[in-house]
Amino acid sequence: MSRVVRAAVVQTAWTGDKASMLDRHEEHARAAAAQGAQVMCFQELFYGPYFCQVQETEYYDYAEAVPDGPTVQRFSALAKELGMVMVLPVYEREQAGFLYNTAAVVDADGTYLGKYRKHHIPQVKGFWEKFYFRPGNLGWPVFDTAVGKVGVYICYDRHFPEGWRALGLAGAEIVFNPSATSRGLSNYLWKLEQPAAAAANMYFVAAINRVGVEPLGDDDFYGTSYFADPRGQLVGDAASGHDEELVVRDLDLGLIEEVRNQWAFYRDRRPDAYGPLVEG
């Protein structure tokens, strides 16, 4: 049975300051709502630069409380005004020294539903994330929203199939993956991994990436945000590889049941045989 949800993602370039980034994202949210979007996700650490290109304690100041900090409060009010579910990837401060790469999920009536904390934290040149973030410790929650069951995975997480599967087992219908990924080796994986995860788990995946080169380093963020359906096929075209862009697509959640009836991957799983996978 057809059940269409209009979803939006936006890829943006760093404007130079937090206040204008917040304003820019509000403008995009209003534009998405004007096109009928019912759910929207921003890019990883959306109101700042990708400061993980350097290791400087001054960037700890970007962290805020979730949900009581100013950014989540502002966009919760906007979600209520627009009647739109919002996924807000922010830098979270739980307490001094307890900082996380987090996404808050807000329902269409402005209600804060909970948060996901990024599990897998890289520490390589240009992506010094262990300097800024503790590993996520809240599992892989799925949020029951006005548009359906929504999950979140964040950037580097996408290289690890376990979380994708955990979200599927928990009932996710749309999984948003906000990212900050730059040109080079990851381009090929960006096109491969998330459609593969959508197909393997038979749900929709929204892949969001920022664009441009920022003053803190030479990472060249290549955009190309997209939606993939439960067969791993793109829903419309991917976004620009260079320019800021709002992407709005209709997702027929009824396709999930159709594909699962055809492939039956969940029926044929063998969890009784998988114990050795987590013994190492």
40-66 pLDDT, tens digit each: 999 999 999 999 999 999 999 999 999
pLDDT confidence band for 185 (50 / 70 / 90)? confident
Helix (H) or strand (E) holding 28: helix 18-34
Q: Is 44 part of the annotated catalytic residue set?
A: yes
> What gap in Å lies between CA 54 and CA 62, rounded to an integer?
14
| C-alpha–C-alpha distance, residues 15 and 31, integer Å | 18
Chain segment 222-267, per-residue pLDDT in tens: 999 999 999 999 999 999 999 999 999 999 999 999 999 999 999 9
Per-residue pLDDT at 2: 82
| Residue of 155, 173, 193, 245 marked catalytic | 155
pLDDT at 67 over 80: yes
Predicted structure pTM score = 0.98
Task: Say yes or no to pLDDT of 280 above 90.
Answer: no
Structure-token match 């709502």, residue found: 33
Instruction: Say how far apart CA 189 and CA 260 lie, in whole Å.
Output: 25
DSSP assignments along 193-255, one per residue:
HHHHHHHHHTSEEEEEE-EEE-TT---EEE---EEE-TTS-BSS----SSS-EEEEEEEETHH
The mean pLDDT of 131-155, rounded to a whole number, is 98
Query: Is 244 tagged catalytic?
Result: no
Using DSSP bridges, classify how beta strands 148-152 and 142-145 pair: parallel, antiparallel or unpaired: antiparallel
Residue 37 has pLDDT above 80, yes or no: yes
| Band (118; pLDDT cuts 50, 70, 90) | very high
End-to-end CA distance of the chain: 43
Per the annotation, the verdict on 52 as an active-site residue is: no
Confidence class of residue 278 from pLDDT cuts 50, 70 and 90?
confident
Candidate list 44, 64, 129, 173, residue with the active-site label: 44
